[in-house]
Structure 1
């Protein structure tokens, strides 16, 4: 039996392929490098949904309909935002999405894809004592998300950084949240319950909750003053070094390279430039320390390390990093749910009982 279902093939998919040995990520026939920074998030949404909705429009109209979906989500949920805001930020977003109507149409799918991008800025503003800002349905998805957060239009470089991030994390094989999504979708429960299942799995610190602790690690190392000593002490105490190692990749996570390039474009002088230079030093030190401390394992930089820097530069606090992760991954969840509904069957694995056996009566 495979512990944790390692190497078990549980689905056939056209959506993405993770090559852990080669360090490659393919999304519907395109390498990540061909998409990230070149295709808008809305265009990648259309790529993922292609074939799963009969009325799927072209790129421009799909982007316009996604903008309309952001406005619809805001209008539907605005009366509930103040009730949700005191909750932990991820739970508040998940509760807001649960209030959306369920259905199987393209409009239902686009509402679900739009929801994290609308709810996260609105909830953050309310928690800061500021008024939520309504979406601009004509704006680019990432630009609008930042505008709703900041209260003004972001720089093109910052908008491109967030857009690239959303594309980078839009889908990634049969990870924990995507598998949870497909399990629920296989019961024909509907798109909204399926996405809510993905949201539940993404919250865990071993999945979508991982980027936030990277910031805590960088801050702790900065306060300590000696990266190598701090890292060795953590390893000696059995602590995990956040931002390094991956369940599938045995070489460097290709998403880390994409996001490192994004952060470099945002760098230069000032706080962002200094933060990047410090993070690169920590990264190299961590790789050297891990190579010596755990020579039997290939612990390379993963997506969470540079995710933390991109989202910090964009103005999101660490407690909202998982929300932004969800804002990108939700498109993949919706596509996987539709694929499971149309081509799969009820997911019902077997378990092996290892408990006590009752006495048999002769």
Structure 2
């Protein structure tokens, strides 16, 4: 590889285990938040790699349905992730393999970047993620040039991933600021857990029942925040079928003709429209946050998504009864109401009609996000 050749990285989904703690069910194919865990991992890792492979020893046709090459390791009795890694090494031309497990649906969007930077700056052979508490050996960046070393290791009867990794110069890469990216689903109860939203930019939601006035409040808050030179992005959940395009427009005709995605761009604005083929799967907040260009954003405000785990203000109108969402959601940090009476079990109560006071609270929230 010359000094000017681009470094190529193949993503590898490791799905070759026996899933004993999940009763033998294939963990990568189990549903998590409306779709399979493997689907979550693939969506998160694809933007970070040049091509993608799946290492699997069972349910081959199901994994092929993702439309990426499925490679079996050819060894009996589930020999572990190293066997799958070697099988992929034998069939690709990339410089590196970026490995991720099928049972970790939350993947850092900086996984490749951090591992590759650490590997290159330290001159190490292999880069491995560390969550601040323990090493995560299956989140590794491994050069294909170590294929013969791995072949010899497995031929000797050894199988432990850590033992082979540390035969080489390894750099442990700090992901302690993203420790929740290593949630590892092992039991049926784990499937029900909602991960905490991850974002370098402060994220604050407004949760309420329909008719409480979330949008009305946002249209008052956003100009007031802008006057404080706080640049805001907004993500809104729609509970019904909606369309931002109009019949008769060129873009509408193109979409109706069958285009899966359309980008409309001008000097002042850009819009992306993507069709969802399964209308039963609700959108998730984390992938939407990752789509934002946050280079000039100080705050992400969210309307809806009240069942996800991120800081929120519950909106309340006295005419609709007392606030209730905070009793079930520990992520509600304040209540904005037109009735400012508070009780010992309630979070801070803000006057929903006092926009300057709410802006001051949000400023303090932004300051505390990464402190």
Higher percent of residues as strand = 2
Which of structures 1 and 2 has the bigger CA Rg?
2
1 or 2 for the larger relative contact order (CA 8 Å, sep ≥6)? 1
TM-score range normalised by the length of the shorter chain: under 0.3
Q: Using structure 2 for the length normalisation, give the TM-score.
A: 0.26
Higher percent of residues as helix = 1
